[in-house]
Every structure is written in C-alpha cells, then in structure tokens.
Amino acid sequence: MIRLEKNKSPKDVESLDLNLDDNINSSDLDNLDDLGINTEDGVEAYNSQTPKQASLDSLSNEVMQALTSKNIPPLPANYQTFFEQILNGYDLEFQKKIYDLMETDAKDDDRNINFEKNIHIAFAKTKDLLKCTSSIYKNFILMSEIQNQIIKSRPDKIDSITFDKLKQSQSNIDKQVIELKNLYQQCNKALENINTNTMYDSKFDVYNKRYFVQLVQEESKSVQKFQHISTILMMALPHSITQYLNNDQMAIVIMKTVAKLLLKTSRRSDMIGYIGNGIFGMLLKHSDVFSSKKASERLIELLKNTNVFIGSNELNLNLNIGIAKIKPDRSAQDSLNYSISALRLAQQNKVEYLVYKEDDND
C-alpha cells in the first residue's frame, strides 16, 4: 500500500521553464516520470523589493516599464511572464485577489486537458476497431478466394441459380473489400494527425514531449531575436528513492502525486512537460541561472516536506535537477541536452541540483 502525507507547512515553490530536444538518447525517453517546479524570481529588481500595496493599474504600468527597460516586445506571452514575476513583489492579499481573477482563464486549460483525454480514449477505441476491421478484411479476402475456387473448379456440380448467386456474392465482397481498405487507410491517417497535434500527456496532465519541444524551440528563436536569457530545468527522482519503486504502477502513483503538486504550485506562464524516462522539464522564460537556482531550492524544499509511505517504509521525496540556459548563441537542442547532462551529473554525484558547467557563472 502507498500512502502520501504532506507536512503542515510546506514552502512555496517558484516557477521554472522547461525545454526539450529531439536528439535525446533513447535511454532518456522511456519509463517512469519525474517532476519540476517553477520559480518566481525572473525579475530580481522587482522581487527583491519589500511587498507593497498596489492597484491593478499600477501593476500593469510597472510591467510595461519592465518590458520597455529590457527592450522586450509587450507581446501577450512576455507580458504574462513579467506580470507574474512582478506580482510576487506585492503583498499577499493583493496577490490572492489577482490570482482569483486569473482562475477564470485557467479553466480553459482544464477544458483543453479534459477534451484531449476524451480524444485519447476515442483514439484507443478506434485503434481496436481498426484491428477488428483488419481481421474482417482478411476474412473477406479468404471468402472471395474460396468462392472463386469453387466457381472455377466445380462449375458442373453447381446448379445455375447457385452459380449466379456465388458470382454475385463474390462481386459484392470484392467491392466491399476495396471500400473497407480505403476507409481503413483514411481512418488510420486521421488518427495519426490527431495524435500528432495533441498537446498534453494524458497520464500527468502536463504538456507532452512533442509539444514541449516545440515550445522550447520557439523560445530559443525568441531568445536569439531579442537577446534575453531563459532557463531550462530537467528534474528526476534520485536513485535513493527510485530503488524502492519496484514496479511501474507504484512509481506512477508517486509521480502523479508529484506532478499534481508541480502543477498546483507553478505559474501559468511556466511550461511544464513530461520528457520520458522519469524526467519532467520546465521552461522558465526571461529567467537567469540565479533565479533558476532559487527555484530549484524552493522546489526541493517543498518535496522534502512531503512524505511517502511504501509499505512500512517512510520516504521523504526529493529531486535531482539539471539547469541550463537558453541563450542567443545556443540551439534549443543543445540547451536541452546540456540540462539533461547536468541532471545526470547531479544524480551521479548525489547532489540536489547542478548547473551546466558553462552556465554556472551567475
């Protein structure tokens, strides 16, 4: 039996941005799952200030001033990222009011996830239907061949009425076989298109690998164009915990709990995706290594306040985290690979987080 308990006063977690690349080693892309969390420290000049009272108008003006000072275009995605970062410098009561207003928009994301879950169910059922259709197709072919053999080999043994019926039946089967084949191919192509265009991982309710990689690639282009810095976190459970997870079902139960915690504590502007092989990624836009380190520390502190009971064993959750920059002179693929490399080193050296060696200068 698995039982989860959360300590009474876990720390808040910051938001991070994640990214992926297509050329990850295959050993890094299968199996269990892991988590990441986001940080709220992307704009140190604002977050270092003491909490202040404010109106929504003054907050909006401050966001615009921050974007202008950093020469960042006030596009919706950029505005949202800075809005949430700067909001953290205000008093908690004001933050709560703003987040309550933002909850209305968040419902759209929930509807999208539920919609894709239903698509996933329909996808699985349709695949079963196609398998059945394939069997029917083969049986039709067999029936046609048998009838054809009877007509050719024993025409003198069959009366004219039966002979005509057999020929008509064979003609109908031949037509239906062709139609069945065409419909099968069209349906299979439609399913492939649906699967290609989904955004969410149906198991963990975060972005799937394909869409997450796309988001990272888009952010990399933005970084090259506007010359700012973003960061990627890659996160996995340490071996000290995974050694107790002796079956996939047990691991999934724990990882789902961690994923829910991640989603609950992250900001809406943070992109979270499941990469595979027990790794979650998080993309933190307009954030440097310093803010990513603070986010990692907060995330790790949060998980340490969550206890997991596996049978009679009680474990404190923890994370290994790898951090790498997305910067103008680096491709999205390299940023992803470097964050994976930092994660693997953190696991090998049994440390909570590591920054890719070329980026650890903040």
Number of helices (H) and strands (E), helices first, in the chain? 10, 10
Lowest mean pLDDT among 2-11, 88-97, 152-161, 183-192: 2-11
Under 8 Å between Cβ of 200 and 206: yes
Count how many residues are written for the chain. 362
Token pair of 13 as six digits: 């977690």
Find the mean pLDDT for residues 148-160: 71
Find the mean pLDDT for residues 303-328: 86
Q: What is the pLDDT of residue 342?
A: 97
Find the mean pLDDT for residues 74-94: 83
Under 8 Å between Cβ of 123 and 195: yes
Residue percentage of the chain with pLDDT more than 90: 23
Q: What is the pLDDT of residue 20?
A: 33
Using DSSP, state whether 192 is helix, strand or coil.
Answer: helix
Q: What is the pLDDT of residue 105?
A: 56
Q: pLDDT tier at 38 (50, 70, 90 boundaries)? A: very low
Q: State the average pLDDT for the chain.
A: 77
For residue 302, the number of C-alpha atoms closer than 13 Å in the C-beta half-sphere is 26
Domain segments of the chain as ranges: 2-49+202-355, 117-196
Token pair of 29 as six digits: 């892309």
Q: Which CATH number fits domain 2-49+202-355: 3.30.70.270, 2.30.29.30, 1.10.287.70, 3.40.50.10170?
A: 3.30.70.270
Find the mean pLDDT for residues 322-349: 95
Q: pLDDT tier at 234 (50, 70, 90 boundaries)? A: very high
Question: pTM of the prediction?
Answer: 0.67
* CA 297 remoteness from chain centre: 22
CA-to-CA dists, residue 111 to 200, 260, 295, angstroms: 12, 16, 28
207 beta partners: 200, 273
Q: What is the DSSP string of 149-187?
A: HHHHH-GGGS-HHHHHHHHHHHHHHHHHHHHHHHHHHHH
Q: Which amino acid is at 326?
A: I
Q: Is 292 left (phi over 0), alpha (psi -120 to 50) or beta?
A: alpha
Q: What is the DSSP string of 289-322?
A: HHHHHHHHHHHHHHHHTEEEEETTEEEE---EEE
Lowest mean pLDDT among 103-107, 205-209, 351-355: 103-107
CA-to-CA dists, residue 97 to 56, 92, 102, angstroms: 10, 9, 9
Q: pLDDT tier at 108 (50, 70, 90 boundaries)? A: low
Find the mean pLDDT for residues 131-152: 77
